[in-house]
Amino acid sequence: MTVILAAQHVCKQVDDHGRSLLQDINLTAQAGEFLSVIGPSGSGKTTLLQCLSGLQSVTTGQVELFGKPLTHLTASQQSQLRRTELSFIFQSYNLLPALSVLDNIALPLRLTHQAVERQKIEAQLAALQFHADLKQLPAQLSGGEQQKVAIVRALMTQAKLIFADEPTGALDSVSRELIFSRLRHLAAQGVGIVMVTHDIELAAQTDRAVVLRDGQLVAEYQTPNEATLLAALHEKAVLTNA
């Protein structure tokens, strides 16, 4: 198996008092692996995802993507890597307000000089039961519709590693299932997926789940199940590999 993401002793501190958001995080992900990150609100999940993807710098420790330590890359090499190898589904969608649905989805393709095939985009949106006009602006869409646009935008590229922050948070149960099976399908094709979620039922269907509490990874489960994950969230779990 190919390791595509490796975090070693990652710590993240903010402000003058050195408040610690992440402490000594060690984590790897492999090509084709579907990894979920769960933990209480405020435990540092989004911060972790951003540090793993290079969107935030780490205070100490190291993150390697595809065998390259991020600190060895210049800022422009890092953005190039993000554009070509990574894809993001942000918790807050991060759609550009002045761009239409179509242009938002096309943006990462245009930035990497890939063809924008309108029919493909329409088919992807239809597969997620998105029925709004492609000319509409994000502000004219519901939260769930915006999330679907953000998801299609992330899935149109040929990314080898997808970071998804609560990708199903605003969706109805049918759309949630559709997105999840789409991500599962991508993982089966060799794409690595790191998904932050509050949805224990979905986390239990991923290959591996890690539990974050107060900025620390406190447990890790191969082929997790719902009962174990619920217990891990509610108890003071110790680092295990159950």
42 binds ligand ATP (CB under 6 A): yes
43 binds ligand ATP (CB under 6 A): yes
CA dist., res. 167 & res. 155, Å (int): 12
Closer residue to ligand ATP in complex, CB, 157/197: 197
44 binds ligand ATP (CB under 6 A): yes
21 binds ligand ATP (CB under 6 A): yes
CA dist., res. 135 & res. 104, Å (int): 10
Closer residue to ligand ATP in complex, CB, 37/152: 37
53 binds ligand ATP (CB under 6 A): no
Question: Beta strand pairing status for 161-165 and 86-89?
Answer: parallel
Residues 6+ apart with CB under 8 A from 144: 170, 171, 172, 175
209 binds ligand ATP (CB under 6 A): no
Query: Contact 4/34 with Cβ under 8 angstroms?
Result: no
Residues 76-115 that bind ligand ATP (CB under 6 A): none
Instruction: Tell me how many helices (H) and strands (E) the chain has.
Output: 8, 10
Q: How far is the CB of 198 from ligand ATP (least distance, A)?
A: 6
* Residues at the interface with ligand ATP (CB under 6 A): 14-15, 21, 39, 41-47
